[in-house]
Chains A and B, each alone.
Chain A
Amino acid sequence: MVRMTFSTAAMALGTTLLCALPVAAETFRWAGTTDPQTMDPHAVNAAPVLSFLNNVYEGLVRRGPEMGIEPSLATSWEALPDGAGWRFTLREGVTFHDGAAFNADDVIFSYERAISEPSDVKSWFASITEVVRVDDFTVDFLTSAPNPLFPGSIANFMILDADWATTNSADLPARDAENHATRNANGTGPFVLSSRDPGIETRLTPHAGWWDSAQHNVTEAVFTPIGNPATGLAALLSGEIDFISPIPLQDVEQVESRDGFKVLAGLETRVIMLGFGHDHDTLKYSDETNDTNPFLDPRVRLAVAQAIEVDTIDRVIMRGAAEPASQLLPAGLSGFSDEHADRPDFDAEAAKALLAEAGYADGFSFGLMCTNDRYINDEAVCRAVASMLARIGVTANVNAMPVRGYWDELRADNFDMYLLGWSPGTFDAEHPIRFLAHTPTERLGTWNFGGYSSARIDELLEPIQQEIDEAARQAMIDEVAGILQQDVAYVPLYTEPLIWAMKDSIDVVQRPDNFFMLRWVSVN
Chain B
Amino acid sequence: MMLARLKRSEGIWLFSRSPAALLAAIVTLVIVLGALLAPWIAPTNPYDLASFSLIDGLLPPVWEAGGDARFVLGTDDQGRDMLSSILYGARLSLSIAAMAMAVALVLGVGLGLAAGYFGGRFDAIVMRIADVQLALPAILTALLIDGISRGILPRDLHDDLRIAVITLAIALSLWVNFARTARASVFVERNKDYVQAAIMMGQHPLRIMLRHILPNIVGPLLVIATVDLASAILLEATLSFLGVGLPADSPSLGTLIRIGMQYLLSGEWWILWIPTLFLVVLVVAINLLGDFLRNLFNPSLR
Contacts and interface: CB of A to CB of B under 8 A. Distances in A.
* A and B, direct touch (CB closer than 8 Å): yes
Given A229-B262, A398-B249, A400-B248, A387 B50 contact: yes
B261 A254 contact: no
Contacts of A397: 159
A390 B50 contact: yes
A473 B54 CA distance: 41
Contacts of B247: 372, 398-401
B11 interface: no
Contacts of B49: 386-387, 389-390, 395-396
B116 to A, nearest CB: 42
A173 B126 CA distance: 49
A284 interface: yes
B54 A312 contact: yes
Contacts of B152: none
B266 A253 contact: yes
Contacts of A120: none
B123 interface: no
A233 interface: yes
B243 interface: yes
A395 B267 CA distance: 32
Interface in A195-246: 229-230, 233
B276 to A, nearest CB: 13
B68 interface: no
B54 A388 contact: yes
Given A380-B78, A399-B159, A317 B54 contact: yes
B78 A250 contact: no
Contacts of B78: 380, 383-384, 387
Contact of A251 (B53, B54, B55, B266): B266
Given A312-B54, A390-B49, A414 B155 contact: yes
Select the residue from B58, B79, B155, B249 with max chain A CB neighbours within 10 A.
Answer: B249
Given A284-B156, A398-B249, A391 B243 contact: no
B159 A251 contact: no
Interface string B240-268: 00010001110000000000011111111
A316 B265 contact: no
A130 interface: no
B43 interface: no
Interface residues of A, number: 41
A373 interface: yes
B69 to A, nearest CB: 20
Contacts of A373: 243
Contacts of A250: 262-263, 265-266, 268
A379 B258 CA distance: 12
B102 to A, nearest CB: 28
Tell which of B48, B156, B263 has the most Cβ of chain A within 10 Å: B156
Interface in B153-176: 155-156, 159
Interface in A339-379: 367, 372-373, 377, 379
Given A250-B268, A253-B266, A396-B49, A230 B54 contact: no
A398 B248 CA distance: 9
Given A379-B248, A387-B49, A309 B262 contact: no
Contact of A285 (B156, B248, B261): B156
B52 interface: yes
Contacts of B267: 253-254
Contact of B262 (A248, A253, A284, A395): A248
B57 interface: yes
Contacts of A386: 49, 249
Given A316-B77, A373-B243, A391-B50, A383 B248 contact: yes
Nearest to A380: B77
A457 interface: no
A380 B77 CA distance: 7
A466 B188 CA distance: 86
A402 interface: yes
A313 interface: yes
Given A390-B49, A400-B248, A254 B265 contact: yes
Contacts of B268: 250
A316 B266 contact: no
Nearest to B150: A405
Interface in B82-99: none
Contacts of A391: 50, 53
A409 B150 CA distance: 11
A316 B55 CA distance: 7
9 contacts: A251-B266, A316-B79, A372-B243, A380-B78, A386-B49, A387-B50, A387-B78, A405-B150, A409-B155
Interface of A: 229-230, 233, 248, 250-251, 253-254, 284-285, 309, 312-313, 316-317, 367, 372-373, 377, 379-380, 383-384, 386-391, 395-402, 405, 409, 412, 414
Kindly list the 7 A-B residue pairs having the minimum CB-CB distance in the complex, ordered from nearest. Answer: A390-B49, A250-B266, A390-B50, A316-B57, A387-B49, A254-B265, A384-B54
